Structure 1
Amino acid sequence: MLEIITTADGSSSLYHPDLNETYHSRNGALAESMHVYIDAGFSYLLQRGEKAVNIFEMGFGTGLNAALTYKQWTHNKNVLVNYTTIEKYPVPIEIAVQLKYDGITDEPEISKAYAEMHQSAWGSWFNLATGFDVIKVEGDITQYHHKGHYNLVYFDAFAPSKQAEVWQTEILESLVAAMDRGGVLVTYCAKGQFKRTLKALGLQVEALPGPAGKKQITRAHK
Protein backbone atom coordinates (compact mmCIF):
# COMPACT_ATOMS: atom_id res chain seq x y z
CA MET A 1 0.00 0.00 0.00
CA LEU A 2 1.41 3.37 -1.01
CA GLU A 3 1.99 5.82 1.83
CA ILE A 4 1.82 9.60 1.48
CA ILE A 5 4.85 11.37 2.95
CA THR A 6 5.85 15.02 3.29
CA THR A 7 9.31 15.93 2.00
CA ALA A 8 11.67 18.62 3.30
CA ASP A 9 10.26 21.42 1.11
CA GLY A 10 6.72 20.70 2.30
CA SER A 11 5.61 18.93 -0.87
CA SER A 12 4.11 15.45 -1.00
CA SER A 13 5.61 12.24 -2.26
CA LEU A 14 4.80 8.56 -1.95
CA TYR A 15 6.59 5.71 -0.24
CA HIS A 16 6.45 2.28 -1.90
CA PRO A 17 6.93 -0.27 0.92
CA ASP A 18 7.48 -3.25 -1.38
CA LEU A 19 10.46 -1.48 -2.97
CA ASN A 20 11.42 0.42 0.19
CA GLU A 21 11.67 3.47 -2.06
CA THR A 22 10.14 6.93 -2.33
CA TYR A 23 8.83 8.45 -5.55
CA HIS A 24 10.93 11.59 -5.04
CA SER A 25 13.82 12.84 -2.94
CA ARG A 26 12.97 13.22 0.73
CA ASN A 27 14.95 16.48 0.52
CA GLY A 28 12.12 18.00 -1.52
CA ALA A 29 9.87 16.44 -4.17
CA LEU A 30 8.84 19.71 -5.79
CA ALA A 31 12.36 21.14 -5.73
CA GLU A 32 13.82 17.98 -7.26
CA SER A 33 11.31 17.82 -10.11
CA MET A 34 11.74 21.51 -10.90
CA HIS A 35 15.53 21.25 -10.90
CA VAL A 36 15.90 18.03 -12.90
CA TYR A 37 13.01 18.02 -15.36
CA ILE A 38 11.91 21.62 -15.79
CA ASP A 39 15.05 23.73 -15.33
CA ALA A 40 17.44 21.25 -16.98
CA GLY A 41 14.87 19.91 -19.44
CA PHE A 42 11.71 21.72 -20.55
CA SER A 43 12.88 25.27 -19.81
CA TYR A 44 16.23 24.45 -21.41
CA LEU A 45 14.49 23.54 -24.67
CA LEU A 46 12.33 26.66 -24.51
CA GLN A 47 15.47 28.77 -24.09
CA ARG A 48 16.86 27.07 -27.20
CA GLY A 49 13.87 28.40 -29.09
CA GLU A 50 12.02 25.12 -29.70
CA LYS A 51 8.52 25.70 -31.08
CA ALA A 52 7.34 22.13 -30.52
CA VAL A 53 8.35 19.87 -27.65
CA ASN A 54 7.56 16.16 -27.89
CA ILE A 55 8.11 14.67 -24.45
CA PHE A 56 8.44 11.06 -23.35
CA GLU A 57 8.31 10.46 -19.62
CA MET A 58 9.38 7.18 -18.07
CA GLY A 59 7.24 7.01 -14.94
CA PHE A 60 4.09 9.17 -14.65
CA GLY A 61 4.01 8.43 -10.92
CA THR A 62 2.32 11.23 -9.01
CA GLY A 63 2.03 13.37 -12.15
CA LEU A 64 4.27 16.05 -10.66
CA ASN A 65 6.59 16.36 -13.67
CA ALA A 66 3.63 16.61 -16.03
CA ALA A 67 1.94 19.26 -13.88
CA LEU A 68 5.11 21.33 -13.61
CA THR A 69 5.60 21.08 -17.37
CA TYR A 70 2.05 22.30 -17.93
CA LYS A 71 2.53 25.15 -15.48
CA GLN A 72 5.70 26.28 -17.24
CA TRP A 73 3.93 25.97 -20.59
CA THR A 74 1.18 28.37 -19.48
CA HIS A 75 3.82 31.10 -19.74
CA ASN A 76 4.89 29.87 -23.21
CA LYS A 77 1.64 28.97 -24.96
CA ASN A 78 3.10 29.58 -28.41
CA VAL A 79 4.94 26.27 -28.01
CA LEU A 80 3.18 23.03 -28.98
CA VAL A 81 3.57 20.19 -26.47
CA ASN A 82 2.85 16.50 -27.00
CA TYR A 83 3.37 14.61 -23.74
CA THR A 84 3.65 10.81 -23.72
CA THR A 85 4.03 9.18 -20.32
CA ILE A 86 4.19 5.51 -19.34
CA GLU A 87 3.41 4.00 -15.94
CA LYS A 88 3.31 0.34 -14.96
CA TYR A 89 1.62 0.91 -11.59
CA PRO A 90 -0.81 3.88 -11.75
CA VAL A 91 -1.30 5.78 -8.51
CA PRO A 92 -4.93 5.34 -7.37
CA ILE A 93 -6.94 8.52 -7.87
CA GLU A 94 -8.01 8.52 -4.21
CA ILE A 95 -4.33 8.86 -3.26
CA ALA A 96 -3.45 11.33 -6.02
CA VAL A 97 -6.10 13.82 -4.88
CA GLN A 98 -4.49 14.01 -1.43
CA LEU A 99 -1.07 15.13 -2.69
CA LYS A 100 -0.05 18.73 -1.99
CA TYR A 101 2.25 20.84 -4.15
CA ASP A 102 2.68 24.59 -3.71
CA GLY A 103 1.94 26.37 -6.98
CA ILE A 104 0.02 23.39 -8.36
CA THR A 105 -2.68 22.06 -6.06
CA ASP A 106 -3.30 25.55 -4.65
CA GLU A 107 -3.59 27.33 -8.04
CA PRO A 108 -7.00 26.81 -9.69
CA GLU A 109 -5.88 26.54 -13.34
CA ILE A 110 -2.95 24.24 -12.60
CA SER A 111 -4.89 22.23 -10.03
CA LYS A 112 -7.68 21.64 -12.57
CA ALA A 113 -5.19 20.44 -15.19
CA TYR A 114 -3.45 18.22 -12.64
CA ALA A 115 -6.77 16.60 -11.70
CA GLU A 116 -7.66 16.09 -15.37
CA MET A 117 -4.34 14.35 -15.97
CA HIS A 118 -5.11 11.83 -13.25
CA GLN A 119 -8.78 11.39 -14.20
CA SER A 120 -8.24 11.00 -17.94
CA ALA A 121 -8.46 7.59 -19.60
CA TRP A 122 -5.31 5.60 -20.20
CA GLY A 123 -4.24 4.82 -23.75
CA SER A 124 -5.89 7.74 -25.55
CA TRP A 125 -4.66 11.21 -26.43
CA PHE A 126 -6.52 14.03 -24.71
CA ASN A 127 -6.32 17.76 -25.12
CA LEU A 128 -5.44 19.40 -21.80
CA ALA A 129 -5.44 22.84 -23.43
CA THR A 130 -5.04 24.19 -26.95
CA GLY A 131 -1.45 23.31 -27.78
CA PHE A 132 -0.90 20.80 -24.97
CA ASP A 133 -1.85 17.16 -25.62
CA VAL A 134 -1.23 14.20 -23.34
CA ILE A 135 -1.35 10.42 -23.61
CA LYS A 136 -0.86 8.18 -20.58
CA VAL A 137 0.20 4.63 -21.31
CA GLU A 138 -0.44 1.99 -18.66
CA GLY A 139 2.26 -0.55 -19.30
CA ASP A 140 5.78 -1.85 -18.93
CA ILE A 141 8.50 0.04 -20.78
CA THR A 142 10.34 -3.25 -21.34
CA GLN A 143 7.40 -4.26 -23.60
CA TYR A 144 6.72 -0.82 -25.09
CA HIS A 145 7.27 0.07 -28.74
CA HIS A 146 7.83 3.79 -29.22
CA LYS A 147 5.40 5.27 -31.73
CA GLY A 148 6.73 8.81 -31.91
CA HIS A 149 9.90 10.81 -31.95
CA TYR A 150 10.89 12.88 -28.94
CA ASN A 151 13.10 15.89 -28.43
CA LEU A 152 12.83 15.67 -24.63
CA VAL A 153 12.93 12.61 -22.38
CA TYR A 154 12.21 12.62 -18.65
CA PHE A 155 13.75 9.39 -17.36
CA ASP A 156 12.20 9.18 -13.91
CA ALA A 157 12.13 5.48 -13.09
CA PHE A 158 12.86 4.11 -9.65
CA ALA A 159 16.58 3.78 -8.92
CA PRO A 160 18.61 1.13 -10.78
CA SER A 161 19.01 -0.75 -7.49
CA LYS A 162 15.21 -1.00 -7.18
CA GLN A 163 14.06 -1.37 -10.80
CA ALA A 164 17.11 -2.61 -12.71
CA GLU A 165 15.15 -3.91 -15.70
CA VAL A 166 14.18 -0.45 -16.95
CA TRP A 167 17.80 0.75 -16.95
CA GLN A 168 18.99 -2.03 -19.25
CA THR A 169 20.97 -1.09 -22.35
CA GLU A 170 18.24 -2.47 -24.66
CA ILE A 171 15.60 -0.20 -23.09
CA LEU A 172 17.81 2.86 -23.32
CA GLU A 173 18.83 1.95 -26.88
CA SER A 174 15.21 1.87 -28.09
CA LEU A 175 14.53 5.15 -26.34
CA VAL A 176 17.59 6.85 -27.83
CA ALA A 177 16.53 5.57 -31.27
CA ALA A 178 13.18 7.34 -30.79
CA MET A 179 14.86 10.65 -29.95
CA ASP A 180 15.30 13.35 -32.59
CA ARG A 181 18.77 14.62 -33.39
CA GLY A 182 19.34 17.44 -30.92
CA GLY A 183 16.99 15.78 -28.44
CA VAL A 184 17.71 15.89 -24.72
CA LEU A 185 17.35 13.30 -21.95
CA VAL A 186 17.28 14.41 -18.31
CA THR A 187 17.31 12.29 -15.17
CA TYR A 188 18.19 12.42 -11.49
CA CYS A 189 20.48 9.40 -11.97
CA ALA A 190 24.20 10.14 -12.16
CA LYS A 191 25.61 6.63 -11.79
CA GLY A 192 28.77 5.94 -13.75
CA GLN A 193 27.53 2.83 -15.54
CA PHE A 194 24.37 4.61 -16.68
CA LYS A 195 26.37 7.51 -18.11
CA ARG A 196 28.78 5.13 -19.83
CA THR A 197 25.83 3.37 -21.44
CA LEU A 198 24.44 6.66 -22.75
CA LYS A 199 27.84 7.56 -24.18
CA ALA A 200 28.09 4.13 -25.83
CA LEU A 201 24.71 4.82 -27.45
CA GLY A 202 26.11 7.98 -29.01
CA LEU A 203 24.84 10.64 -26.61
CA GLN A 204 26.87 13.55 -25.30
CA VAL A 205 26.57 13.41 -21.53
CA GLU A 206 26.68 16.34 -19.10
CA ALA A 207 26.96 16.13 -15.33
CA LEU A 208 24.99 19.04 -13.87
CA PRO A 209 24.77 20.17 -10.24
CA GLY A 210 22.01 18.36 -8.39
CA PRO A 211 19.19 19.62 -6.15
CA ALA A 212 19.42 19.61 -2.35
CA GLY A 213 20.95 16.40 -1.06
CA LYS A 214 22.26 15.28 -4.45
CA LYS A 215 25.65 16.12 -5.93
CA GLN A 216 24.87 15.66 -9.62
CA ILE A 217 22.16 14.94 -12.18
CA THR A 218 22.52 13.92 -15.82
CA ARG A 219 21.59 15.65 -19.07
CA ALA A 220 22.40 13.91 -22.34
CA HIS A 221 22.18 15.23 -25.91
CA LYS A 222 21.67 13.27 -29.12
Structure 2
Amino acid sequence: MRVQTRHTPAFGVARVLLDPGESVQAAPDTLLASRFGVTEAPAGRGGVRAGKVAATVYTAPADGGWLDFAPLRPGDVYPLDLGGGTGWSVHRDAVLVRPSSVRHDAGWAPLQQLFGADSGFLEHYSGTGPLVLAAPGPVDAFELGQGELVTVRPDYLLAYPDSVQCRLRALDPGGSQSLRTGEGLAVDFAGPGTVLVQARNRRLSSA
Protein backbone atom coordinates (compact mmCIF):
# COMPACT_ATOMS: atom_id res chain seq x y z
CA MET A 1 0.00 0.00 0.00
CA ARG A 2 1.19 3.49 -0.90
CA VAL A 3 -0.42 6.84 -0.15
CA GLN A 4 -0.42 10.06 -2.15
CA THR A 5 -1.97 13.21 -0.70
CA ARG A 6 -3.35 16.32 -2.38
CA HIS A 7 -5.23 19.52 -1.45
CA THR A 8 -3.47 19.58 1.94
CA PRO A 9 -3.59 20.94 4.54
CA ALA A 10 -7.02 22.57 4.21
CA PHE A 11 -9.04 20.02 2.22
CA GLY A 12 -6.87 16.92 2.16
CA VAL A 13 -7.57 13.88 0.00
CA ALA A 14 -5.62 10.60 0.32
CA ARG A 15 -5.13 8.40 -2.73
CA VAL A 16 -4.43 4.83 -1.60
CA LEU A 17 -2.60 2.66 -4.16
CA LEU A 18 -3.12 -1.06 -3.61
CA ASP A 19 -1.26 -4.09 -4.91
CA PRO A 20 -3.30 -6.98 -6.40
CA GLY A 21 -5.66 -8.38 -3.77
CA GLU A 22 -4.53 -5.91 -1.10
CA SER A 23 -7.21 -4.44 1.17
CA VAL A 24 -7.85 -1.50 3.49
CA GLN A 25 -10.54 -0.46 5.96
CA ALA A 26 -12.29 2.91 6.07
CA ALA A 27 -15.67 4.44 6.81
CA PRO A 28 -17.84 4.21 3.65
CA ASP A 29 -18.83 7.89 3.83
CA THR A 30 -15.19 8.88 3.29
CA LEU A 31 -14.75 7.09 -0.07
CA LEU A 32 -14.62 9.74 -2.81
CA ALA A 33 -13.84 7.53 -5.81
CA SER A 34 -12.05 4.32 -6.75
CA ARG A 35 -10.79 2.45 -9.75
CA PHE A 36 -13.46 0.25 -11.31
CA GLY A 37 -13.23 -3.31 -9.99
CA VAL A 38 -12.42 -2.51 -6.36
CA THR A 39 -14.74 -4.63 -4.21
CA GLU A 40 -16.18 -3.79 -0.80
CA ALA A 41 -17.59 -5.73 2.12
CA PRO A 42 -18.56 -4.92 5.72
CA ALA A 43 -15.71 -5.22 8.22
CA GLY A 44 -15.98 -8.13 10.62
CA ARG A 45 -16.83 -7.75 14.26
CA GLY A 46 -14.14 -5.76 16.04
CA GLY A 47 -13.11 -3.87 12.90
CA VAL A 48 -12.05 -0.25 13.00
CA ARG A 49 -14.87 2.19 13.53
CA ALA A 50 -14.85 5.77 12.28
CA GLY A 51 -17.11 7.80 14.55
CA LYS A 52 -20.29 5.74 14.86
CA VAL A 53 -20.06 4.20 11.37
CA ALA A 54 -18.72 0.65 11.01
CA ALA A 55 -15.79 0.31 8.62
CA THR A 56 -15.91 -1.22 5.16
CA VAL A 57 -13.15 -3.42 3.70
CA TYR A 58 -12.02 -2.41 0.21
CA THR A 59 -10.04 -4.96 -1.85
CA ALA A 60 -8.11 -4.34 -5.06
CA PRO A 61 -8.73 -6.53 -8.13
CA ALA A 62 -6.15 -8.93 -9.60
CA ASP A 63 -4.18 -6.15 -11.27
CA GLY A 64 -4.26 -3.69 -8.35
CA GLY A 65 -6.22 -0.52 -7.89
CA TRP A 66 -6.61 2.83 -6.19
CA LEU A 67 -9.10 4.60 -3.93
CA ASP A 68 -9.50 8.26 -2.97
CA PHE A 69 -10.59 9.02 0.59
CA ALA A 70 -11.62 12.42 1.96
CA PRO A 71 -12.38 13.26 5.62
CA LEU A 72 -15.93 14.31 6.41
CA ARG A 73 -14.68 17.73 7.57
CA PRO A 74 -12.05 20.08 6.14
CA GLY A 75 -8.47 19.55 7.22
CA ASP A 76 -5.25 17.66 6.66
CA VAL A 77 -4.56 14.01 5.82
CA TYR A 78 -1.37 12.46 7.18
CA PRO A 79 0.08 9.00 6.39
CA LEU A 80 1.66 7.73 9.61
CA ASP A 81 4.19 5.05 8.66
CA LEU A 82 4.36 2.20 11.17
CA GLY A 83 7.58 0.23 10.94
CA GLY A 84 6.56 -2.79 13.01
CA GLY A 85 8.84 -2.16 15.97
CA THR A 86 6.87 0.59 17.72
CA GLY A 87 3.14 1.04 18.12
CA TRP A 88 1.30 4.35 18.22
CA SER A 89 -1.53 5.76 20.31
CA VAL A 90 -3.87 7.75 18.06
CA HIS A 91 -6.87 9.99 18.74
CA ARG A 92 -9.93 7.76 18.38
CA ASP A 93 -11.53 10.07 15.78
CA ALA A 94 -8.40 10.48 13.64
CA VAL A 95 -8.11 7.25 11.62
CA LEU A 96 -9.19 7.71 7.99
CA VAL A 97 -7.77 4.55 6.36
CA ARG A 98 -6.20 1.46 7.92
CA PRO A 99 -4.28 -1.12 5.87
CA SER A 100 -4.73 -4.81 6.65
CA SER A 101 -1.11 -4.91 7.87
CA VAL A 102 -1.89 -2.51 10.76
CA ARG A 103 -3.73 -3.85 13.83
CA HIS A 104 -6.14 -2.01 16.09
CA ASP A 105 -5.06 -3.18 19.56
CA ALA A 106 -8.30 -3.06 21.53
CA GLY A 107 -7.72 -3.29 25.27
CA TRP A 108 -4.06 -2.27 25.05
CA ALA A 109 -2.82 -2.36 28.66
CA PRO A 110 -1.08 1.06 28.90
CA LEU A 111 -4.22 2.83 27.66
CA GLN A 112 -6.33 0.85 30.12
CA GLN A 113 -3.99 2.07 32.86
CA LEU A 114 -4.36 5.64 31.55
CA PHE A 115 -8.17 5.65 31.32
CA GLY A 116 -9.19 2.92 33.76
CA ALA A 117 -12.46 1.18 32.90
CA ASP A 118 -13.66 4.11 30.77
CA SER A 119 -13.42 4.38 26.99
CA GLY A 120 -10.86 7.13 26.44
CA PHE A 121 -10.03 9.43 23.55
CA LEU A 122 -7.09 7.29 22.34
CA GLU A 123 -6.72 3.97 20.49
CA HIS A 124 -3.56 1.91 19.93
CA TYR A 125 -2.28 0.63 16.60
CA SER A 126 0.67 -1.57 15.66
CA GLY A 127 2.04 -3.43 12.65
CA THR A 128 3.54 -2.17 9.41
CA GLY A 129 2.38 0.24 6.74
CA PRO A 130 0.83 3.71 6.42
CA LEU A 131 -2.06 4.42 8.79
CA VAL A 132 -3.79 7.42 7.22
CA LEU A 133 -4.94 10.03 9.75
CA ALA A 134 -7.35 12.93 9.35
CA ALA A 135 -6.86 16.19 11.26
CA PRO A 136 -9.05 19.32 11.39
CA GLY A 137 -5.97 21.50 10.84
CA PRO A 138 -2.38 21.25 9.59
CA VAL A 139 -0.36 18.51 11.30
CA ASP A 140 2.58 19.66 13.42
CA ALA A 141 5.13 17.74 15.51
CA PHE A 142 7.05 18.11 18.76
CA GLU A 143 10.39 16.29 18.51
CA LEU A 144 11.26 15.46 22.11
CA GLY A 145 14.74 14.55 23.27
CA GLN A 146 15.49 12.24 26.17
CA GLY A 147 13.60 13.51 29.21
CA GLU A 148 12.25 16.58 27.39
CA LEU A 149 8.73 17.51 28.51
CA VAL A 150 5.69 19.03 26.81
CA THR A 151 2.02 19.40 27.77
CA VAL A 152 -0.69 19.01 25.11
CA ARG A 153 -4.45 19.51 25.32
CA PRO A 154 -6.38 16.42 24.13
CA ASP A 155 -8.41 18.44 21.59
CA TYR A 156 -5.15 19.08 19.67
CA LEU A 157 -3.48 15.70 20.16
CA LEU A 158 -3.15 13.46 17.09
CA ALA A 159 -0.73 10.61 17.88
CA TYR A 160 2.41 9.56 19.75
CA PRO A 161 4.65 6.44 19.73
CA ASP A 162 5.18 3.92 22.51
CA SER A 163 8.65 5.39 23.19
CA VAL A 164 7.03 8.50 24.67
CA GLN A 165 5.91 8.47 28.31
CA CYS A 166 2.63 10.19 29.11
CA ARG A 167 0.54 11.22 32.09
CA LEU A 168 -3.10 12.34 32.08
CA ARG A 169 -4.20 14.97 34.60
CA ALA A 170 -7.11 17.29 35.32
CA LEU A 171 -6.68 20.98 34.58
CA ASP A 172 -9.02 21.79 37.45
CA PRO A 173 -9.59 18.91 39.92
CA GLY A 174 -12.92 20.48 40.88
CA GLY A 175 -14.09 21.08 37.31
CA SER A 176 -15.86 18.86 34.82
CA GLN A 177 -13.78 16.29 32.91
CA SER A 178 -14.41 13.70 30.20
CA LEU A 179 -12.09 10.79 29.45
CA ARG A 180 -13.89 10.16 26.17
CA THR A 181 -13.46 13.68 24.75
CA GLY A 182 -10.54 14.93 26.86
CA GLU A 183 -12.51 17.93 28.06
CA GLY A 184 -10.95 19.45 31.18
CA LEU A 185 -7.79 17.33 30.85
CA ALA A 186 -4.15 17.75 29.82
CA VAL A 187 -1.54 15.20 28.73
CA ASP A 188 2.07 15.52 29.86
CA PHE A 189 4.66 13.84 27.61
CA ALA A 190 8.30 12.95 28.22
CA GLY A 191 10.70 12.07 25.40
CA PRO A 192 12.33 10.62 23.51
CA GLY A 193 9.91 10.54 20.61
CA THR A 194 7.60 12.55 18.38
CA VAL A 195 4.23 13.90 19.50
CA LEU A 196 1.95 14.74 16.57
CA VAL A 197 -0.63 17.50 17.01
CA GLN A 198 -3.09 19.33 14.79
CA ALA A 199 -3.34 23.10 14.53
CA ARG A 200 -7.10 23.25 15.12
CA ASN A 201 -9.25 22.17 18.04
CA ARG A 202 -10.88 18.85 17.09
CA ARG A 203 -13.90 19.18 19.35
CA LEU A 204 -14.72 22.74 18.30
CA SER A 205 -14.04 22.01 14.63
CA SER A 206 -16.69 19.26 14.70
CA ALA A 207 -19.31 21.36 16.46
Q: Specify which structure has the higher proportion of strand.
A: 2
Query: Does the pair score TM above 0.5?
Result: no
TM-score (norm 1): 0.26
Question: Rg larger in 1 or in 2?
Answer: 2
Q: TM-score, normalised by structure 2?
A: 0.28
Higher percent of residues as helix: 1
